[in-house]
Amino acid sequence: MDDEDGYFGKSVAATYDESSAEMFAADVVGPAVEVLARLAGGGRALELGIGTGRIALPLAGRGVPVHGIDLSRAMVDRLRAKPGGGDIGVTLGDFATTRVDGTFSVAYLVFNTLMNLTSQQAQVDCFRNVAAHLAPGGSFVVEVMVPELRKLPPGQTAVPFHVSPTRWAFDVYDVATQALSSHYFDAVDGHGSHESIPFRYVWPAELDLMAQLAGLRLRERWAGWAGEPFTSESHRHVSIWEKPAGG
């Protein structure tokens, strides 16, 4: 692991777009950008964990001024190397606490990135940090998984989520601490490698309380970017909290 870049150092950044190719597909990115552009209106957007620009670049292409925060210089370097990437402002730092100048109409945190904050306090700090950046009436959008504890029979802690001839991946849950670690085993040309990344899973109701502590209120919760109804069977949610207009 590169200490400066956390778990998203040069080796991860070099292959991030390819390893997450399904998340870069137009039918995945397009609906998210549509929602965020609408919420931005004529204002600015702040992306927490901007990475290589999967969402930021097409959103900027819609005419929305985007600024990003990211801990990984390597990921940001990949963003900078893409067409239009040099025009997007990025502040290096922990998005739970890093401040940037100005206010924003929308802030967003997508693709489970909230769980990269591995303590409840850090996640609470993130909501408060976002609230401080939002203009009155602004929105905070989070896309994150619903913990898949229903898949765990008694005594089991691991849930596989990818199995192929060259890669095996699974999540390990600690239900006492809400710690979650994702493990990846890859086999290439007869050689194996293992990588693990720590997370903290979080429930929708817990996020609503974090929002309340930050002075935000829930506006919408969907099962996806197309506005699908959120139910007890949903595997993820897109939630939108707003800062009161008088806030």
The candidate with the shortest Cα–Cα distance to 199, out of 179, 170, 172, is 179
Domain segments of the chain as ranges = 10-146+202-242, 149-197
Decide which of 1.20.5.510, 3.40.50.150, 3.30.70.20, 3.40.718.10 is the CATH code for 10-146+202-242.
3.40.50.150
What does the pLDDT look like over 65-110, one tens digit per residue?
999 999 999 999 999 999 999 999 999 999 999 999 999 999 999 9
Exposed (0-12), middle (13-18) or buried (19+): which is 26, by Cβ within 10 Å? Answer: exposed
Q: What is the model's pTM?
A: 0.92
Alpha carbons 229 and 142: distance in angstroms, whole number:
16
What does the pLDDT look like over 12-64, one tens digit per residue?
767 665 767 688 799 999 999 999 999 999 999 999 999 999 999 999 999 99
What does the pLDDT look like over 109-129, one tens digit per residue?
999 999 999 999 999 999 999
